[in-house]
């Protein structure tokens, strides 16, 4: 079967750095997305990785290792507005998106 694992919940302090991990086992791989979802709202796109390595976009960076079936989202200089769920989704061999359950990130002052 296809499986995506993310921690259920993480807590971090305002101004700090946090890394949210995602491991996947899917039938094929055609890229990995990270989305942010505030409570009661729709997911919004953060990043897309298809090649190994780190991609940086402002305070957010995303890393991919295809050989390890592993990705992480790195959030720097945390702000209270970063409190949200972070969803990892993999594009499988049929070009369908397989979604993780998301990681709820709680930011404390």
Partner 1 sequence: EADIYQTPRYLVIGTGKKITLECSQTMGHDKMYWYQQDPGMELHLIHYSYGVNSTEKGDLSSESTVSRIRTEHFPLTLESARPSHTSQYLCASSASGDTDTQYFGPGTRLTVL
Q: Considering the rule CB under 8 A, would residue 106 count as an interface residue with partner 1? A: no
Residue number with CB closer to partner 1 (3 or 14):
3
Q: Considering the rule CB under 8 A, would residue 34 count as an interface residue with partner 1? A: no
Q: Considering the rule CB under 8 A, would residue 33 count as an interface residue with partner 1? A: yes
DSSP string covering the chain: --EEE--SEEEEETTS-EEEEEEEE-SS-S-EEEEEE-TTS--EEEEEE-SSEEEEETTEEEEEETTTTEEEEEE-S--GGG-EEEEEEEE-TTS-EEE---EEEEEE-
Q: Considering the rule CB under 8 A, would residue 45 count as an interface residue with partner 1? A: yes
Q: Considering the rule CB under 8 A, would residue 50 count as an interface residue with partner 1? A: yes
β-strands 53-57, 60-65 pairing: antiparallel
Q: Which positions from 65 through 104 interact with partner 1, judged by CB under 8 A? A: 85, 87, 89, 91, 95-97, 99-102, 104
Q: Which of 42, 57, 58, 109 binds partner 1 (CB under 8 A)?
A: 42
Contact region with partner 1 (CB under 8 A), list: 13-21, 43-51, 61-69, 75-83:
43-51
């Amino acid at each position: 079967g296809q499986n995506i694992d993310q921690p259920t919940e993480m807590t971090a302090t305002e101004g700090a750095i946090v890394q949210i991990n995602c491991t996947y086992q899917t039938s094929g791989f055609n890229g990995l997305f990270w989305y942010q979802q505030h409570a009661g709202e729709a997911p919004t796109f953060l990043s897309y990785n298809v090649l190994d390595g780190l991609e940086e976009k402002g305070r957010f960076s995303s890393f991919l290792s295809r050989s390890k079936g592993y990705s992480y989202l790195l959030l720097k200089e945390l702000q209270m507005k970063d409190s949200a769920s972070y969803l990892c989704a993999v594009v499988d061999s049929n070009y369908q998106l397989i979604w993780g359950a998301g990681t709820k990130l709680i930011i404390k002052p």
